[in-house]
């Protein structure tokens, strides 16, 4: 088979897998549901991971975890390098978080969900588990951000791209002391801050959805979550930039070991997600900014609410409400 035919088959196969992975996310979220508010995030994560692994092994693919919940010796978590699927389908990179927002979920709080990003083999940044500086916007502001510039400069640029006055911008920032300087820049510019307690994947995606009030996401959060959010935004036509923020020499060494020779390099969306063939799936566990949580119905069914976006048509994304026996 020539290279062109291989590319066509790969693209069709990647698109087809999205619905299979929707089932994976739904099952993981449902498995985690009994642990809401029980104060045991390890058990919640373990339940979601087991359901996720079992379902992914049924999919016709040769999948490899590039961002997971642990290293090879930390079973039962989905470890980096773990191979999944029937080995009969396309070769794909998989980035997962069975329970994004585990601490909040264990306390019965909002904004926890199951998230999965999938792309062609070798195309996702192997981001180590450390901090990453991030900035994200939706499609209308694509090309207007620069992670090396100040937030004030970025707000001016994004406001121009959106045709807004800077005072009408809403900037989403995780509520942490490390972000106080960013919050001050928003206030000084006269723009609006929208603080959230955890889970910046939700916030990044929100910038690409008109019905949700959020023009920019900025701040420092987990690098693995950055790759997952970047995949969603690539599918939606948005923009994302990141810069790893190692906090100690050991983290620099880990970056180099994972193939990142310049840990503090500014990373564009195409650096983080190199392929145009990718998709993102998320299912709510507790109610949040983007999705409703798992619910039990009066007829003893379980109701899930999910979000799916696939590359190739940035204006088309789906919210999926499903009932499970």
Whether 69 has a binding-site annotation, put simply, is yes
Alpha helix segments (H runs only) across the chain: 3-32, 41-56, 102-106, 151-162, 180-189, 200-206, 223-236, 249-257, 269-272
Q: Record the tokens describing residue 213, joined without a space.
A: 């009030």
139 marked ligand binding residue: no
- Please tell me whether 250 is known to bind a ligand: no
Give the residue among 285, 314, 315, 276 at the shortest CA–CA distance from 51: 285
CB-based contacts of 208, cutoff 8 Å, min separation 6: 137, 138, 139, 232, 233, 236, 237, 238
102 is in an annotated binding site: yes
Residue 37 marked ligand-binding: no
Q: Is 259 a known ligand-binding residue?
A: no
User: Is 73 marked as a binding-site residue?
Assistant: no
Is residue 97 a known part of a binding site? yes
Residues 291, 282 contacting (CB under 8 angstroms)? yes
Cα torsion 170, 227, 115, 82 to 10°: value is: -170
The answer to whether residues 308 and 280 touch, using CB atoms and an 8 Å cutoff, is yes
Residue 225 known to bind ligand: yes
199 is in an annotated binding site: yes
11 labelled ligand-binding: no
Query: Does the annotation place 176 within a ligand binding site?
Result: yes
Is 3 labeled as ligand-binding?
Answer: no
Q: Is 53 annotated as a binding residue?
A: no
Sign of CA dihedral 130, 132, 138, 142: negative
43 in a labelled binding site: no
Task: State the binding site for substrate.
Answer: 100-102, 131, 176-178, 198-200, 222
Task: State the binding site for Mn(2+).
Answer: 45, 69, 97, 100, 225
Task: State the binding site.
Answer: 45, 69, 97, 100-102, 131, 176-178, 198-200, 222, 225
């Amino acid at each position: 088979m020539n290279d062109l035919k291989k590319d066509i088959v790969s693209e069709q196969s990647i698109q087809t897998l999205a619905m299979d992975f929707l089932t994976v996310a739904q099952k993981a979220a449902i498995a985690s549901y009994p642990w809401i508010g029980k104060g045991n995030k390890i058990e919640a994560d373990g339940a979601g991971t087991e359901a996720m692994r079992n379902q992914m092994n049924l999919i016709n693919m040769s999948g490899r975890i590039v961002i997971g919940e642990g290293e090879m010796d930390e079973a039962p978590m989905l470890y980096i390098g773990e191979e999944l699927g029937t080995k009969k389908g396309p070769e794909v990179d998989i980035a997962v978080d069975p329970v994004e927002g585990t601490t909040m979920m264990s306390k019965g709080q909002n904004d926890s969900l199951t998230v999965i990003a999938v792309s062609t083999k070798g195309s996702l940044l192997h981001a180590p588990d450390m901090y990453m500086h991030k900035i994200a916007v939706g499609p209308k502001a694509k090309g207007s951000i620069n992670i090396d510039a100040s937030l004030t400069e970025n707000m001016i640029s994004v406001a121009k791209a959106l045709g807004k006055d800077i005072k009408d911008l809403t900037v989403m920032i995780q509520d942490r002391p490390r972000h106080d300087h960013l919050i001050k820049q928003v206030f000084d510019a006269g723009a609006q801050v929208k603080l959230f307690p955890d889970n910046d994947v939700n916030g990044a995606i929100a910038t690409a959805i008109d019905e949700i009030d959020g023009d920019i996401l900025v701040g420092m959060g987990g690098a693995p979550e950055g790759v997952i959010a970047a995949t969603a935004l690539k599918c939606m036509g948005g923009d994302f930039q990141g810069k790893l923020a190692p906090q100690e020499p050991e983290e620099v060494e880990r970056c180099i070991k994972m193939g990142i020779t310049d840990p503090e390099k500014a990373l564009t969306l195409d650096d983080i997600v190199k392929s145009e063939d990718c998709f993102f799936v998320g299912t709510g566990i507790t109610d949040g900014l983007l999705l409703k949580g798992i619910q039990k119905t009066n007829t003893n069914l379980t109701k899930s609410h999910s979000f799916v976006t696939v590359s190739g048509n940035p204006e088309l994304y789906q919210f999926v409400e499903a009932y499970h026996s």
